[in-house]
Amino acid sequence: MAIIQWYPGHIAKLERELDHWLGLVDVVLEVRDARMPLATTNPRLRARYGNKPSVILLNKSDLADTKQTAAWVDHLKEVENLGVLGVNAHAIHQWKKPLEGLLKRIAAPLQAKRKQQGLKPRPVRVLVAGMPNVGKSSLINALSGRHKAATGHKAGVTRQPQWVRLHETLELLDTPGIIPPILETEMDNHELWQTSFEQGKVQPLSIGEKLATVSSVGDAAFDEATVSTRLLSWVDEAYNGLMHTLYEVPEDVPISIESVGQARRWLTSGGGVDESRTARQVLTDFRQGRWVKGGFGVSLEWVPE
Ligand SMILES: Nc1nc2c(ncn2[C@@H]2O[C@H](COP(=O)(O)OP(=O)(O)OP(=O)(O)O)[C@@H](O)[C@H]2O)c(=O)[nH]1
Ligand SMILES: [Mg+2]
């Protein structure tokens, strides 16, 4: 799939600024989307964390496949040897304590070192980083209990880094989302993403397509019909006909924009299926969690068995 405008100029500038932000903090909190923990990590960014202690948060777990999120937490802990938590910014009370505990534990040796050097104690400083739209600002707002940082359902809402003090011992630096400046084909071949487990007859979505489904790349950067079609096909296969069930498409009719539009009567005035409306609606349904049933959502990346 051709992704145009993959790497806007302002992102290049942000990447350069990242080194400066890293110099200001003790710990990195990398936020990813629980529905695709591999596609929403930026290997170039991770390479720059160097040996800063870091923690991975798989956010939006309310929209993800619960079983997969639990498996990803275990898997990433093992392969990355880091603290990993599956969280939901909209219900942070469940994770606030464990998360703060984890950050403080990580920062304890740094604090002890300061004390040894005769320096005054200061708050632990945490860089909150990750791809666009994964929920960095929402998490910071939820943790601080105040709406300090701007949030929104599209890429690039946070434009400037911003410090938010949680309390006298913890400060978080909200930063703009950064996507990698590499071509999609290169991303798909990157070793970090090679561990992605894909199964079934239907070809999995490419990294760029996955990022499009969760609005980590702007809407102008991809073709909605293509992404929507691939999303429908993969999810329908991986989740045993879930798209047939949710959109009430007859079992013997293959899943497609056409069949979903027909079933839902998303039609043009001429009576044919309104393909662009249907494609957009399918993406919106996925993004807004309308495929979550009984607390079980959909993940586009599954952990190796
Ligand atoms: N369902 C659900 N939605 C979430 C969660 N966290 C954030 N969101 C939504 O995701 C969208 C993006 O959230 P932001 O906090 O603006 O994301 P960001 O990572 O700061 O994005 P940029 O600043 O653009 O990089 C918003 O519409 C949020 O309401 C979550 O845990 N669950
Ligand atoms: Mg933000």
Q: Which domains does the chain have, with CATH numbers?
A: 9-174 (3.40.50.300), 184-287 (1.10.1580.10)
- Are 259 and 228 contacting, i.e. CB atoms less than 8 angstroms apart? no
- Are 180 and 38 contacting, i.e. CB atoms less than 8 angstroms apart? no
| pLDDT, position 289 | 96
Closest protein CA for atom 30 of ligand 1: 60
> Any idea which ligand is nearest the CA of 162?
2
- Are 303 and 79 contacting, i.e. CB atoms less than 8 angstroms apart? no
**Nearest ligand 1 atom, CA 59:** 31
pTM of the model: 0.92
Pairing of strands 170-174, 162-167: antiparallel
Provide the token pair at 39: 């596609």
Closest protein CA for atom 32 of ligand 1: 60
The CA 59 to ligand 1 mean position distance, Å, reads 9
The CA 264 to ligand 2 mean position distance, Å, reads 34
| pLDDT, position 103 | 86
pLDDT digits (tens, 9 = 90+) for 54-99: 999 999 999 999 999 999 999 999 887 788 999 999 998 888 888 9
Closest protein CA for atom 11 of ligand 1: 153
